[in-house]
Structure 1
Amino acid sequence: MNMPQSVRLVDVGPRDGLQNESQAIAVTDKVRLVDDLSAAGIRHIEVGSFVSPKWVPQMAGSAEVFAAIKQHSGVSYSALTPNMKGLEAALEAGVREVAVFAAASEAFSQRNINCSIAESIERFAPVLEAAQKADVKVRGYISCVLGCPYQGEVPADQVASVARELHAMGCYEVSLGDTIGTGTPGVTRALIEAVAKHVPREQLAGHFHDTYGQALANIYASLLEGVSVFDSSVAGLGGCPYAKGATGNVATEDVLYMLNGMGIETGIDLDLLVNAGARINLVLGRENGSRVARAILAAR
């Protein structure tokens, strides 16, 4: 398998990163973060989600954020839309790409969205249909692909089965999420091999949490398997709700530094990216979750 020559990084910081913050974050700060990421050369930014503010209060202003950001051509600004109501709100806000999510673990699906995996996928059918009619791209997320906080191990063929369903329904890309960050390179490669029998590798993405410090190693393992799209979060925003005090999303700066060192093209400016992370951390009053950013900022 040839190593990809270029990689697309999907920065999920404005959505997956900020949604776990307990303090209120102003729309202007969210807009500034998205604009900073665009300016740094990120070509795919997950801006927000259209979900009930009762469940995810931080995402309540997603429509206002979409209205205020400076949209660059060639950049995808996406939103999470778990149901028809969410999709309708996203379409109203002019969103051109949405994402749906399913779990690979039956226990996680029941605990998180109160339904089985099969039922959750059934709920997406009208969402995908309506999105396709509106000429809006749909990306699929699968959580708990390398482990579940409730049931432990998750069989690779179960992940492959969910990926096949999402792909068949019209998801142009399926992102495989190691939600609790327990995966290691060997199982990561085996998982990709199992899923690639049903979904082409060029339509797969990796979403690795760094809870156990394995994210970069798993991304490298995925590159060896021909995967060239990875989700990450500027400054490592977004803790892991299942492991107390643990980090969540892998930091975009750390992934970019590794890719730069390997000569893999991303089109992203590391210094501008570090600035973007530093600025949102000032707003949040928290330490930077990126080791690379901390090293660069300390050396300035």
Structure 2
Amino acid sequence: MITNWMLDSLTKILRTNCHADCKFIIEAADGSKVFLCHKLIFSCASEVFDRMLYGNYNESSSGEVKLNDVEPEVFEKFREYVYGYNDEKLDSYDFDTLVKLAEFGNKYLVESIKEDCVRHLLYRKEMFDTDELLRLFQCAHTLNYSLLIDHVSRDLKNHAKRVLNHSAIYQFSTDVFKSYIEVVESRLSEPERFNLIEMYIKYNDLYNDGPDTAATDTESEDEKIDTNGQVATPAIEGKGKMNGEYISELLGLIDFCKFTAKDFYEGPGKSSLLTLPQKYENLYKIARSCSHASGQKELDPFFSCNCYSCYGH
């Protein structure tokens, strides 16, 4: 626990830049912003910064650290935090700022700010809208924070129907999207989950070189709009490259035997995600499943009856 005297002293050197011996240059689209700092403060905050500022690196000799992975406004709040570790200011920060601070702290191994931001996010979770909840799901995986993943997963499971086709889903990274498909397994039907998979792959151009590529993608840009009227933009770099193994993993999460023949025809049957042999194989399984169910219905009256006449007595 930092004493009031120490906190006041750290606040003073932060405000006056007294004895500053290094500077962080935060590069942004609209130019760079320079923050005068103290090596010892940042060295204590993170072993990453410790190696940068005191190791055998250019930053150590020049005293300059250039970062282009954080916004100046976010770094300024991060700097304020490490000069006192006072999390009370986090109360006034909005959702975006807390998420960005948590992710920045996670990247540079500043565990305390990550923990504090996650605690504030969990406290406010019930007030988040759909978009924020989905973005928090991505953030939780980025941080690899199991408690946060579990909490948000429960909420998304409960609201699976309401958030179906929300544009933020298509912004998920590949591993997070796969996790989401698993999370909503019991709340969305197999056709709905298959449709989500197909739309995600389409929006991110992951299957251009995949099976049945002769099939023409006739979807227009106007059709790439979710039910909220928001345009879904690609979340994955390397547009046009297909990851066959990843698509196979996604399709492996779908139980095609739970489709009706009509649903299969309208969805996977017309999709270019499955090869013709795969379509025939799944249709055969659906037909067998239907035939088995029909046979069971015919047998059920016999097996459910306890009278002797049914047994030939």
- TM > 0.5 fold call: no
Q: Scaled by the length of structure 1, what TM-score is found?
A: 0.30
Query: Bigger radius of gyration, 1 or 2?
Result: 2
Higher relative contact order (CA 8 A, sep 6+): 1
Please state which structure has a larger fraction of its residues in helix: 2
Q: Please identify which structure carries the higher strand content.
A: 1
